[in-house]
Chains A and B, each alone.
Chain A
Amino acid sequence: MIRRGFFSLLPAVVAVVLAMVVTGLVIALTGGSAGQFYSTILSVPIPRVSVTIVNQTAMIAISAFAAAIAFRMNLFNIGVEGQYIAGSCAGAFFAGSGLVAGPAVIPATLVVAVVAGAAWASIGGFLLVGRGVSEVISAIMLNYVALTMAGYLVNRYGVASGYTFTTNPLELNQQPVGFQVVDGPYQVWALAIIAVLVAIGYWVLINHTRFGFDLRASGASSTAAAASGVDAKKMTLIAMALSGGVAGLVWMPAFFGSVHKFGIPENFQSGLGFTGLAVALLGRNRSIGILVGSLLFAFLSAQSNDLQSVGVAPEIISITQGVVVLAVVVAYEIVRRLQIRREQESVARELASARPTAEEASR
């Protein structure tokens, strides 16, 4: 078991180190100072940044779990981006509508966000099952539609806030108090806890339920799953809806934690859907892997802000993140092949020792 753990950890570590080296090289080659890059990125984050890291980790993780649900069924839900825009927009409009007063608005809004995300994802699901439209293609289109539509809705039905429009902001008693983990005005958002709940829920669902088994079986071999009684179409629809439902929650921690209203682009953080896909790949669709991967990405992004002060563009960190994902995918494939070979050898040994050798000698 120790060996197995070692094998699943090593590629990730190698990938991170490799990514840092590559980034350093790129900086050095373009005339920057790699040393200052390393000392900035690897410095201990100041309290404000630590809080940001935790908050960002939560959102990235939720997004990654959304992607992972679909990945587990071999569906590439590149539409997490559009789904969480849909969920955020619908949730924020609902919360600002005054239909539910007081703190009760929080659970009600979460439900609306989930339903909106699931509905948006289901468009792709139905197109795939009913018409054979690749979920990737429809999702790319739907991402733009979601962004444009959300912008239109806010401009049409929102309220003016400075030069832009937003949804009605939350009342004061609808803003949950966050976790005070460091001194000062910085809090970890209350709803960051959603990430933990999603992580546990994902782990239980995938590894311990019948539904999770059917989902994984469909992903591992659609033909074997069908022969075992799994209804592939139903499974695709459910997986897409579930993935979209979780995606709908991505921005909720920020919404209730600090933003309190929705408006594009100032009052919304876009791009988390794509980050989530990368982190799901990095974490190999495992709960712990995704949480660690989210932390890594959040850490790199947050720390990179300070790169400006040493004359390096913070965007350079995208190179690090990209190389991490690429390297980890390659490294895990190598490890997978190694493991298959090791296993086959152990089976061969088992076979060789299965029959009595006395009889062998008598021949």
Chain B
Amino acid sequence: MTAPAAAVVLTGIGKRFPGVVANHDVDVSIRPGTVHALIGENGAGKSTLMKILYGVQAPDDGTITVDGETVTFSSPTDAIARGIGMVFQHFMLADNLTVLENVVLGAEKLHGIGGGARREIRAISERFGFGLDPDVLVETLGVAARQRIEILKVLYRGARIIILDEPTAVLVPQEVDALFENLRVLVAAGNSVLFISHKLDEVLAISDDITVMRRGTTVGTADPATATRLQLAELMIGEELPSPETTESTVTDVAQLQLKGVSVFASDGREVLQGIDLTIHRGEVLGIAGVEGNGQAELVEAVMGMRTLSGGTIHLGTEDISGWSNRRVREAGVGYVPEDRHRHGLLLDAPLWENRILGHQTRKPNVRGLFVDRKGARRDTDRIVGSYDVRTPSIDTTARALSGGNQQKLIVGREMSGDPVLLIAAHPTRGVDVGAQAAIWDHVRTARHEGLAVLLISADLDELIGLSDRIEVILRGRLVGEFDPRRVTAQELGSAMTGGGEAA
């Protein structure tokens, strides 16, 4: 924190909301020409800090200094004028417009909307190796290219300090490498990058400085040259941390879930699953690796009885469950942690105890006959809140008020209730903080030890490798290779996921 000519210095930043301190005594110093990583659990105050730096919110205490000059921002426009740009996690691009149109939108004054703008975009793209053609429609581009457009957008507006919020969450390993390559060129040209991430390996790989936040304040800095992943994680959550590694195998030879030749057509007639064969045994975690949109969601929905099979059979234990309704599948003992917990896993405006009932509304302890058993459901919600460490003031709190990690812990607790024989977990730790992630991994391992079969879908390759007993790779609706997680590397998986390699 000693660099005299820091690009940005945040000193003693504090921000209070009624009843809660979001930030206090935050000190961050970003050196010019570096990638500075900001890490911390969800709720550690990273977003508030970003909003302050980007002018969305004004701090109550502290000062912001840009290039040695103290500044106050009353809106993002002020921040942009000072050369601070932000790339949000969710892209804000219009699909039906070209790259050029997306970039100039709202910045028409800078270089016009025609030739000048096109030249400028080409120049930026070439300088930093973005490889973007200004006249291509955005809808034809992949996720990685869209992200580069977002970065180009802020550069176009003159940003020299670029905030990236969880930029790698949507990328496969190869794309992450490419992004990092772009970032290195960016900082070599004198720009600074504030890199916000959960993924500690990536943080260690790209950053020059690391600042750790916990409970609203900066708790320390680390040197990526010497720090380890574990040290960082422990600094983030303030306690010792388990790793996702599964110790001994608990796989039995009793098949719990068996898919034979399962095919599914999408409503537009495309075959989204083609001849899937897979078996999960009791006590086994089968991981499915794949770039999103290659049939994972359809696979889950097929097993859950939410999609009609166009071919093949699904057996749960010895029973043929092909064609069963979702409710019947659930009643047979299948737990389901959905990919999108807000859309599929929770009633956001309902209290926690009612969310306990969701998906289990035909089973004890939630119902008695045709009636809802409020007492039973409430008591069992208390149990879940206790044993899964759901941080909530009460079980009458609405699900919406909880943080992502706590919502997910509630869902996992619910789906583990009633002795399931099979758990389908789609991205179970996506968007949850490290503490909750560790807890969820722990619960999966414990249940697996007790004979639970688990179908694990995840975009987090570390999670897949750490938790799975076996990994299948899905590509364009087919299983294209099986890997042993004890030997495979993230690079190999990434390559198979994109169709670049064959099964080991």
Residues of A within 8 A of B (CB): 207-214, 216-217, 220-221, 223-224, 226-231, 340, 343-352, 354-355, 359-360, 363
Contact = CB atoms under 8 A, between A and B. Distances in A.
Nearest to A341: B18
24 contacts: A208-B371, A208-B372, A210-B371, A216-B350, A217-B350, A217-B358, A221-B348, A224-B343, A224-B344, A227-B336, A227-B344, A228-B327, A228-B361, A230-B327, A231-B327, A343-B400, A343-B401, A347-B391, A347-B393, A347-B403, A350-B393, A351-B391, A352-B216, A359-B239
Interface string B298-339: 000000101000000000000000000111101100001010
Contacts of A354: 391
Closest 8 CB pairs of A and B: A229-B327, A228-B359, A343-B401, A227-B344, A348-B20, A345-B19, A223-B343, A229-B326
Interface of B: 17-22, 43, 215-216, 219-220, 238-239, 304, 306, 325-328, 330-331, 336, 338, 343-350, 354, 357-362, 367, 370-372, 374, 391-393, 397-398, 400-403
B401 A340 contact: yes
Contacts of B216: 352
Contacts of B357: 213
B274 to A, nearest CB: 24
Given A347-B403, A348-B19, A352-B20, A227 B345 contact: yes
A228 B358 contact: yes
Contacts of A355: 215, 238
Nearest to B341: A224
Nearest to A344: B401
Contact of A221 (B43, B238, B304, B343): B343
Contact of A212 (B239, B345, B372): B372
Contacts of A210: 361-362, 367, 370-372
A359 to B, nearest CB: 6
A137 B427 CA distance: 40
Given A214-B361, A224-B344, A350 B350 contact: no
B359 A346 contact: no
A349 B344 contact: no
Contacts of A347: 391-393, 397, 401-403
B361 A224 contact: no
A229 B359 contact: yes
A219 B328 CA distance: 22
A94 B297 CA distance: 54
Contact of B325 (A227, A229, A351): A229
Contacts of B349: 220
B403 A351 contact: yes
B82 to A, nearest CB: 30
B17 to A, nearest CB: 7
Contacts of A346: 19, 393, 397, 401
Nearest to A336: B349
Contacts of B354: 213
A227 B327 contact: no
A226 B306 contact: yes
B340 to A, nearest CB: 8
Nearest to A362: B238
Contacts of B238: 355, 359-360, 363
Contacts of B371: 208-210
